[in-house]
A and B are shown apart, each in its own frame.
Chain A
Amino acid sequence: MIPAADVVELSRLQFGLTAMFHFLFVPLTLGLSWILVICESVYVMTGQQVYKDMTRFWGKLFGINFAMGITTGITLEFQFGTNWAYYSHYVGDIFGVPLAIEGMMAFFLESTFVGLFFFGWDRLSRKQHLLVTFLVALGSNLSALWILIANGWMQNPVGADFNYVTMRMELTSIGQVFFNPVAQAKFVHTVAAGYVAASMFVLGVSSWYLLKARDTGFAIRSFAVAAGFGLASVCSVIVLGDESGYTAGEVQKVKLAAIEAEWDTAPAPAPFTAIGIPNQKEQRTDYAIKIPYVLGLISTRSVDQQVTGIKDLRLEHEARIRHGMTAYAALLKLQAGDTSPAVKAQFEAAKKDLGFALLLKKYTPNVLDASETQIKAAAGDTIPQVLPLFLSFRLMVGLGFLFLFIFSASFYFLARRNLAPQRWLLRLIVWSIPLPWVAIETGWFVAEYGRQPWTISGILPTRLSASALDASQLHFSMFGLLAIYSALFVIEMFLMLKYIRIGPAALHTGRYFGETTNDTSALPAQTAASH
């Protein structure tokens, strides 16, 4: 039974909220682990105690985040089997491998080495401990790789084929799934965004210490590591974001057109709509300010290729729906026992558009009898809501350039040994700590909302992916999960703020603010900054 629209929307909302909560923890783990590697590498190379203290202190904050974040993604897997049973069956053969590897990575590699990181300081040599820290970072990042391979496949389903006997997608090439260009671009863009978030976190906390003129020696070194790592990361995010957009333009033309509110196919190279208010009903963008050539150059990397507009894509999808109907007719025959070569050939020739025919299920149970009006309506459904995508994308990009400014300014003033007087910058950084999370969540929103109406792009409509559950059951589970995750978030904030307030004194080395009044770490910021 196809679930009611409200059940599908509730299932989507539950999955979306859970994923967004989960991803509050992930970026900090991804980035902070590498900052620990950098700090500890300097400690191993120079033997300076302050770098060991930095590794241990930021490691504590990493530990809190790791403990709070680990397994929060498991509820997504719970939801696969229960709320998204049909989707789950459809993708099971593809997702089994990456999800199993991710589970192994998270529970064995990461958890083991995180334990060794905390309890191995007195048991391992310096180099051995550094290796452990490196493996923590590598394990965390590789875990993200497998998940993003799975997600990339949903955006660009390669290396798989539909089997009408088992009624699911089956793996034909693991190499194509792993080296899916969308997944690779998504992975590097996502982890680099995590590095930016972690850098801003370290930069922000260090700035707070500098503003309070406490632990300045410790803070200025942490600031330096975060500024350097953050600047490199934010440059990577921008370049890799461009690559991610380019690959999306190659395989998800509708998403790109919706993000850019590109209603009509403009002559090449297409202009970029910097600002405007997309009007979906009238299919135009009001008050648009356009920059000539930019969209064409960014999305096609050429001056002579067009960017197909939404109206043309809609017509293209109408044709694909009609073509998909022939696959649907052949599938019915196959399932009825007619496995003649002619029917198989008909199915094989049209099955890439089967998913488009399935969009008609929203309007009629008899897909083959769909009217022209129903076909046009189904084609209209292939266009996601443009306004939220248009605004979210611009918010994400705008924040990206703000981060570039912050890290560049931080690096510049630090290199000039003139950071302490720039109190405006330090205050801006402290207030900017949450912004990378805003950018990351809006980025995920663009990626996932822009994929609608599909769970697997062009293959399986969202509406057919969901289980026919009771709406009240979904309400209960959603509010229950929200309550659990909100509590976890509050606990994380409490522990983080507690240890940030204590500062490196939490290490009880006797060298930091609140422990002694006679140490260089408590020197005024100006003095330490000029060291």
Chain B
Amino acid sequence: MRTLKALARPQVSQFRFALELTTVVAIKAALLYWAWSAWFSHPLAPHMRMSPALVQQQILGAPAANFASAPFAASDLSSGENHDSRR
């Protein structure tokens, strides 16, 4: 009986340790997801990219007067994803 108990102990210990870590990781993932959805789920620069017009406004003060004519069309500015294709 004593031998059986001794044999079972490492497995129980390993299981307990894994359970503790899994619980902590699960709680952490839930908290981080909550933090993301509460404060960071609407980034101004999704995928590290935003409209060059907004950047231009920040850097130069305001979009250039004839921004719509050159060097790219104003209609493209609503989405930052397409600008590289113009290069």
Contacts and interface: CB of A to CB of B under 8 A. Distances in A.
A44 interface: no
Interface stretch (A188-196, A393-401, A476-484): A476-484
B39 A82 contact: yes
Contacts of B59: 167, 331, 358, 361, 464
Given A80-B45, A82-B43, A336-B66, A168 B24 contact: no
A510 B6 contact: yes
Contact of B28 (A71, A334, A510): A71
A196 to B, nearest CB: 26
Nearest to A69: B28
Interface string A501-531: 0000011111000000000000000000000
Given A71-B32, A79-B40, A481-B35, A365 B61 contact: yes
Contacts of B48: 80-81, 88-89, 91-92, 95-96
Interface string A356-398: 0010010001110000000000000000000000000000000
B87 A78 contact: no
Contacts of B32: 71, 74-75, 484
B4 interface: no
Given A60-B17, A166-B52, A167-B52, A81 B45 contact: yes
A63 interface: yes
B78 interface: no
Contacts of B70: 337, 339
Contact of A1 (B21, B58, B87): B58
A138 interface: no
A166 B58 contact: no
Nearest to B62: A365
Interface string A165-197: 111100000000000000000000000000000
Contacts, number: 152
A293 interface: no
B61 A366 contact: yes
Contacts of A124: none
B1 interface: no
A114 B54 CA distance: 43
Contacts of A275: none
A101 interface: no
B9 A85 contact: no
Contacts of A491: 24
Interface in A190-237: none
Contacts of B13: 506-508
B26 to A, nearest CB: 10
A82 B35 contact: no
A78 B40 contact: yes
Interface in A121-157: none
B74 interface: no
Given A88-B48, A335-B60, A165 B71 contact: yes
A163 interface: yes
B65 A336 contact: yes
Judged by DSSP, the binding face of B is helix
Interface residues of B, number: 53
B73 interface: no
Contacts of A358: 59
Contacts of B28: 68, 71-72, 484, 488
Contacts of A349: none
A46 interface: no
Interface in A44-88: 60, 63-64, 67-68, 70-72, 74-75, 78-82, 84-86, 88
Contact of A75 (B35, B47, B58): B35
Contacts of A67: 21, 24-25
B80 to A, nearest CB: 7
Contacts of B12: 508
Interface in B49-87: 49-50, 52, 54-61, 63-67, 69-72, 80, 83-84, 86-87
A506 B64 CA distance: 68
A115 B50 CA distance: 38
Contact of B18 (A118, A332, A480, A488): A118
B35 A467 contact: no
A488 B29 CA distance: 11
A90 interface: yes
A166 B24 contact: no
Contacts of B14: 118
A13 B27 CA distance: 25
A425 interface: no
B10 A508 contact: yes
A335 to B, nearest CB: 4
Given A90-B55, A337-B64, A480 B38 contact: yes
Contacts of B47: 81, 92
Contacts of A166: 52, 83-84, 87
Interface in A457-492: 464, 467, 473, 476-477, 480-481, 484, 487-488, 491
Contacts of A80: 43, 45, 48
B33 to A, nearest CB: 10
9 contacts: A71-B32, A78-B35, A78-B36, A88-B49, A92-B49, A165-B86, A332-B64, A334-B71, A477-B39
Given A81-B40, A332-B60, A334-B71, 9 more contacts: A68-B28, A72-B28, A85-B45, A92-B49, A335-B56, A337-B64, A464-B58, A464-B59, A477-B39
